[in-house]
Structure 1
Amino acid sequence: MDWDYENPFVQAITPQAGDIDGLDHTNNAVYVRWCEQIGWAHSEQLGLDLDDYRRLDRAMAIRRGEYEYLLPTVLGESLTLATWLTGGDGKIAMERRFQLIRERDGATVLRGRWDLVCIDISSGKVRRMPPEFLDAYLPSVAQAGE
């Protein structure tokens, strides 16, 4: 597949009946949910889950989310969703990207981007990333694909 960045973390996705809206396409809100799900799965694969966030009283919160809906998808269609961490300042901010590809023709149907900021869960205030976040996340920052 023609990924935007190298070494994607991927999940196979197939729109189900509940994902389809009145126009017979996957509802835009479903794409947002899929991005959240793969973001958590990627974080867990890198060694940080919700229990770790709670224990550390820190979380990477979405400061800004952008989604570019390029093509519709339909019930039962085979898709592959990818995500990457694509930047980080080593202090409070990181960036996560998403790309959804339709398997039958390799077309990119969605691109997304999150600007993330580290917060203290108990207060909601911006805080520096703890060493555990830096150790898990920064080594996995992706480089642009060929």
Structure 2
Amino acid sequence: MTWDYPQPYTLKLTPASSDIDGLQHTNNAVYVQWCEVIGWAHSEQLGLSLNNYQELNRAMAIRHAEYDYLLPSVLGDKLILGTWIVASDGKLNMERRFQLIREADQAIIMRGKWDLVCIEISTGKPKRMPPEFCDIYLPAIVK
């Protein structure tokens, strides 16, 4: 696989009939949902779950998202979605990247980017990352 960054956290996916739109390819909104699924799975694998977020009253919220839809995928395609944390200031901001590859021909289907900001869940306002976030997320940053 030709990944944009080394050692992605990956998830294997196959579009189901409910993912296919009127143009007979995977609807773009499905890719966005998959990015959310893998983002949470990666965070949990690193050691931070939704329960941890709630206990700490902090969350990494999407401030800005970009998706580049490069090629279509269709019903039954075997896909691999990868994600990485690529940057953080260790205070408020973090950047997560995504890449979706079709297994059969190694074609890149989609690339995505999230700019995240740490918020206090109870107020929704930006708030400095707690030490637990820094201890887990910062060592996971890839270059």
TM-score by length of 1: 0.97
1:136 lines up with 2:136 in the alignment = yes
Tell me, in whole angstroms, the C-alpha distance in 2 between the residues paired with 1:98 and 1:11.
11
SS at 1:98 equivalent? strand
| 1:114 aligned partner, one-letter code | W
Tell me, in whole angstroms, the C-alpha distance in 2 between the residues paired with 1:64 and 1:105.
31
Tell me, in whole angstroms, the C-alpha distance in 2 between the residues paired with 1:57 and 1:40.
17
Query: How far 1:124 moved relative to its partner?
Result: 0.3
Matched residue, 2:76: 76
Tell me, in whole angstroms, the C-alpha distance in 2 between the residues paired with 1:38 and 1:134.
20
| RMSD between aligned residues | 0.3
Matched residue, 2:20: 20
Query: How far 1:69 moved relative to its partner?
Result: 0.0
SS at 2:33 equivalent? helix
Alignment of 1:48-67 (within 5 A): 48-67=48-67
SS at 2:37 equivalent? helix
Tell me, in whole angstroms, the C-alpha distance in 2 between the residues paired with 1:95 and 1:55.
23
SS at 1:66 equivalent? strand
Query: How far 1:93 moved relative to its partner?
Result: 0.1
TM-score by length of 2: 1.00
Tell me, in whole angstroms, the C-alpha distance in 1 between the residues paired with 2:52 and 2:93.
18
| 1:22 aligned partner, one-letter code | G
SS at 1:4 equivalent? coil
Query: How far 1:123 moved relative to its partner?
Result: 0.1
Matched residue, 1:4: 4
SS at 1:134 equivalent? helix
| 2:37 aligned partner, one-letter code | Q
Q: Which runs of 4+ in 1 moved over 4 A?
A: none
SS at 1:138 equivalent? helix
Query: How far 1:130 moved relative to its partner?
Result: 0.1
Alignment of 1:115-126 (within 5 A): 115-126=115-126
Identity percentage of aligned residues: 65
Tell me, in whole angstroms, the C-alpha distance in 2 between the residues paired with 1:142 and 1:107.
22
Unaligned runs of 5+ in 1: none
Structure 1 residues 47-78: Cα deviation after superposition (integer angstroms, max 9, x where no partner): 00000000000000000000000000000100
Tell me, in whole angstroms, the C-alpha distance in 1 between the residues paired with 2:89 and 2:108.
28
Matched residue, 1:97: 97
